[in-house]
Amino acid sequence: MATVTTPGGDWTGNETITFTATDQTTASLADSDDVTFTVNILGVDNWNIIPASYRLLNNYPNPFNPITKVEFHLKAAGKVQLKIYNTLGEEIATLVNAEMPAGVHQVSFNALDLPSGIYFYKLLFNDFTASKKMLFLK
């Protein structure tokens, strides 16, 4: 849960912030006036975001040399497998094979000992399966 510090105290995501504002032209705002604020978030520590869907994102960077990151989203906790395959369909590495909580996850893949080429990564979670392609260039 994010906490925002305001002049009137802290605000936690499920609460309402009450502002007292006056117009610089000396007209004041009444309690019944609707006011819209634009908030620019400069930084957030420890977001506990629960995604609305399962998702496997593109690795970054791609092409890569020799390390890339793979991000995936889980809307529920469960057993996760994330594996790397070569173009022949042979399993090259297992990056994740564990129970994981719901949320946004990121793992690194180091291909230093592998030849340059196209590789595939596949996420397995219950009935959800997704795969993507990555390019390793030495």
Residue range 105-137, pLDDT digits in tens: 999 999 999 999 999 999 999 989 999 999 999
Are 86 and 119 within 8 A, CB to CB? yes
pLDDT (average), residues 92-98: 97
> CB count, 10 Å around CB of 48?
10
The yes-or-no verdict on residue 23 having pLDDT over 90 is no
Looking at residue 5, its pLDDT comes to: 47
Asked if residue 94 belongs to a domain, the reply is yes
pLDDT value, residue 103: 93
Is there a contact between 81 and 94 (Cβ–Cβ < 8 Å)?
Answer: yes
* pLDDT number for residue 33: 58
What CATH number did the domain enclosing 92 receive? 2.60.40.1930
Sheet strands (E) in the chain: 3-6, 9-12, 55-56, 67-74, 78-85, 91-100, 103-110, 117-125, 128-136
User: Residue 50: what pLDDT?
Assistant: 87
> Cα separation of 84 and 66, whole Å?
14
- Report the C-alpha gap between 115 and 112 in whole angstroms: 8
pLDDT at 14: 47
37 domain-assigned: no
* Residue 72: domain span: 55-136
Predicted confidence (pLDDT) per residue in 60-84, tens digit: 999 999 999 999 999 999 999 999 9
Contact residues for 68 (Cβ-Cβ < 8 A; gap 6+): 59, 60, 61, 62, 108, 109, 111, 134, 136
Residue 18 inside a domain? The answer is no
Whether the per-residue pLDDT at 25 is higher than 70: the answer is: no
Query: pTM value?
Result: 0.66
Q: 101 with 93: CB under 8 angstroms?
A: no
Q: Are strands 55-56 and 9-12 parallel, antiparallel or unpaired?
A: unpaired
Report residue 47's pLDDT band, with 50, 70 and 90 as the boundaries.
low
Q: What's the number of domains the chain is made of?
A: 1
Considering the chain, what percentage of its residues have pLDDT values greater than 90? 61
Give the mean pLDDT of the chain: 80
